[in-house]
Amino acid sequence: MSTSTMNDFPTLETERLHLREIIPEDAATLFRIHSDADVMRYFGTNPMADLTQAEALIEKWRNTPHPARRWGVARKSDQTLIGTCGFFRWNVDWSCAMLGYELDQQYWRQGFMREALAATLHWGFMEMGLNRIEAQVHPENQASLQVLATHGFVQEGLLRQAGYWAGKYQDLLQHSLLREEYSSPTL
C-alpha cells in the first residue's frame, strides 16, 4: 500500500486497485452507479434521478474534513472507476468513524470491495488513529455482511427502523471493528 503525504489526498494501492480522489469528472460514472436501483437497494438512499445529484455528492465528499475521506475505487489495469469507499461521521474525540461503500454491479462477486476495504481499514486505523470503525448494513445485504465478516467486524445488534429509503423505514445491523481486533493484511 502506498499513500501520499498527510497534506495531500491520500492515494492507496492494492494488487488490482487504485483508491484515489473522486473528481468532478467522475460525475457521469458515479451517476450511473448511484442511479442503479440494484446497487442502491441497501445503500441508504434512493437511486439518483439526475447528474446534478452526482455532482453534488462529489462536492460533498471532496469537502469532508481531512483525513476522513471517500475514495474512488478504480481498477489499476485501466483506471475505470468501479465504486467508492471511505469514512463519514468521523468523531475525532472518540477516535471512531462510520464506513461506507458501494460497487458497480458488473464488478460484484469478484473480491474488489474486499480488497478496497482492506486498504481503507488500514488507513483508518494507522493514519486516522481510529479505535473503532462502524458499519451499518441492511439485514438482507448478504454480500456486505460477508465482506464485513471477512475483515473481522462484529455484529452488535439490530437498529430498528434506523434508516428511511425506498418509501419505508429500514432496519440496520450495527457492526464494528476495534483496533485491538484488527489484523493488518498484506496489501
Judge if pTM exceeds 0.85.
yes
Mean pLDDT of 29-56: 95
- At residue 80, the pLDDT reads 92
Nearest to 38 by CA among 107, 120, 121: 107
Q: Is 60 exceeded by the pLDDT of residue 99?
A: yes
151, 164, 96, 22: CA torsion to nearest 10: 80
Q: Tell me if residue 186 falls in helix, strand or coil.
A: coil
Q: Among 40-49, 55-64, 109-118, which stretch is predicted with the lowest mean pLDDT?
A: 55-64
Instruction: State yes or no: pLDDT of 57 exceeds 80.
Output: yes
